[in-house]
């Protein structure tokens, strides 16, 4: 009978093929059906991810919680459960896939996932925004996370999410869509962001605005990138308590969750499971997070990247083949 340790070890060790068949081919006395049965039988959950993360995170008030979702591309699947058409930031459009909402803790330097939820409204009836709030609630009320600042992108900047974070007494930093309307005064009504007059003072310290259906005011910052792109960033801090440079730096901390998404896909095969049943897919996801933690801990120990740790597995093989190739170069007589 296959164990979780064997399956996670396989995810760490295999270079490109993450299928049940490939594992069975390389594990003695194991059939494809045995691997598939394991994935369908067990019940691994996000609670186990927190058990891995808790001793590793630097749980201080100066940290960050970051929320974002990632779509596991399943465009060629025909009968796989959980798969639906949904928007993918990587593809800038709709793809067939399985959505995962991730919650990541960062101390500003290092980062670890502490929770994840599979987006499956047909199973649990929950939207991504409800997963967003549930994970934050558990992080602060059950896990004892002390991070004061919550980072997320435009997609999660809905009024219910903003109000929820504000009620928690936490600081939010997020971006607005360029078509979002704000109010500078009761008399002026709601206007588009481009209609705001950006004086030098406002460019430096932001401007206090009111959002529809949000009972408190926020500070709006116009952040201009070196290539001319504009991000409209808001925070619920007091007026003039920070400047544009600070809020821009905080907003950039969201890169950590994008890095996590890339590492999970490129190093653990999180998209590659071909099992049809949702329980098998969920167990595969949980095992991929544990594989990621294994690579992360080793990378910290070796003071290198997760990619280098994975690539190093094949260095000795390459040296051996160069010294004593089992497939010599063909040369005609």
Looking at residue 107, its pLDDT comes to 96
Looking at residue 86, its pLDDT comes to 86
* Predicted confidence (pLDDT) at residue 103 exceeds the cutoff of 90: yes
pTM above 0.85, yes or no: yes
Query: Mean of the pLDDT values across residues 50-54?
Result: 97
146-205 pLDDT, tens digit per residue, is 999 999 999 999 999 999 999 999 999 999 998 899 999 888 899 999 899 999 999 999
Q: Where are the domains of the chain?
A: 154-244
76-86 pLDDT, tens digit per residue, is 888 899 999 88
Query: Mean of the pLDDT values across residues 117-131?
Result: 96
More confident residue, 254 or 228: 254
Query: Mean of the pLDDT values across residues 250-254?
Result: 93
Backbone CA torsion sign across 317, 319, 321, 323: negative
Q: Taking the CA atoms of the chain, what radius of gyration do you get in angstroms?
A: 23
Which has the closest alpha carbon to 264: 246, 280, 284, 250? Answer: 284
Beta bridge partners of 182: 191, 211
Beta bridge partners of 98: 72
261-308 pLDDT, tens digit per residue, is 999 999 999 999 999 999 999 999 999 999 999 999 999 999 999 999
196-249 pLDDT, tens digit per residue, is 999 999 999 999 999 999 999 999 999 988 888 899 999 999 998 999 999 999
Q: What are phi and psi of 24, to 5 degrees?
A: -60, -35
Contact assessment for residue 126 and residue 114, using Cβ atoms and an 8 Å cutoff: no
* Predicted confidence (pLDDT) at residue 250 exceeds the cutoff of 90: yes
Residue 92's pLDDT band, with cuts at 50, 70 and 90, is confident
* Predicted confidence (pLDDT) at residue 89 exceeds the cutoff of 80: no
Residue 255's pLDDT band, with cuts at 50, 70 and 90, is very high
Query: How far apart are alpha carbons 57 and 59 in whole angstroms?
Result: 6
Query: Mean of the pLDDT values across residues 22-41?
Result: 89
Q: Which residues contact 25 (CB under 8 A, 6 or more apart)?
A: none
Least confident of 84-93, 138-147, 255-264, 288-297: 84-93
Query: How far apart are alpha carbons 263 and 70 in whole angstroms?
Result: 12
Q: Which two tokens stand for residue 91?
A: 């593809």
Q: What are phi and psi of 157, to 5 degrees?
A: -85, 35
Looking at residue 49, its pLDDT comes to 96
Query: How far apart are alpha carbons 307 and 291 in whole angstroms?
Result: 13
Looking at residue 215, its pLDDT comes to 94
| Helices and strands in the chain, H and E counts | 13, 11
How is 300-321 classified by DSSP, letter by letter? HHHTS-HHHHHHHTTHHHHHHH
- The overall average pLDDT reported for the chain is 94
Least confident of 26-30, 115-119, 193-197: 26-30
Least confident of 119-128, 131-140, 177-186, 262-271: 177-186
Strands 171-176 and 230-235: antiparallel
């Amino acid at each position: 009978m296959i164990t979780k340790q064997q399956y996670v070890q396989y995810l760490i060790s295999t270079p490109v093929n993450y299928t049940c068949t490939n594992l069975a081919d390389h594990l003695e006395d194991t059939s494809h059906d045995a691997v598939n049965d394991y994935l369908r039988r067990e019940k691994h959950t996000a609670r186990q991810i927190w058990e891995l993360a808790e001793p590793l995170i630097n749980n201080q008030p100066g940290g960050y919680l970051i929320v974002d979702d990632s779509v596991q591309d399943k465009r060629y699947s025909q009968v796989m459960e959980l798969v639906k058409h949904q928007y993918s930031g990587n593809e800038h459009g709709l793809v067939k896939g399985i959505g995962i909402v991730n919650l990541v803790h960062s101390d500003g330097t290092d980062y670890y996932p502490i929770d994840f939820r599979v987006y499956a409204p047909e199973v649990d009836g929950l939207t991504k925004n409800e997963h967003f709030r549930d994970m934050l609630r558990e992080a602060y009320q059950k896990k004892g996370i002390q991070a004061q600042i919550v980072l997320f992108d435009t997609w999660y900047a809905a009024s219910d999410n903003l109000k929820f974070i504000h009620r928690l007494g936490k600081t939010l930093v997020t971006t607005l869509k360029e078509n979002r309307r704000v109010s500078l005064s009761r008399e002026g009504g709601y206007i588009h962001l481009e209609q705001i007059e950006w004086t030098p003072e406002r460019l430096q310290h932001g401007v206090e605005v009111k959002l529809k259906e949000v009972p408190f005011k926020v500070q709006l910052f116009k952040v201009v990138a070196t290539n001319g792109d504009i991000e409209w960033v808001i925070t619920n801090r007091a007026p003039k308590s920070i400047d544009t440079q600070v809020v821009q730096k905080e907003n950039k901390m969201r890169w950590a969750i994008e890095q996590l998404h890339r590492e999970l896909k490129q190093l653990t095969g999180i998209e590659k499971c071909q099992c049809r049943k949702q329980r098998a897919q969920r167990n595969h996801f949980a095992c991929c997070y544990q594989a990621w933690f294994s690579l992360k801990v080793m990378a910290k120990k070796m003071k290198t990247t997760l990619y280098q740790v994975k690539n190093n597995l094949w260095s000795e093989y390459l040296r051996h083949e160069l010294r004593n190739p089992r497939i010599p170069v063909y040369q005609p007589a």
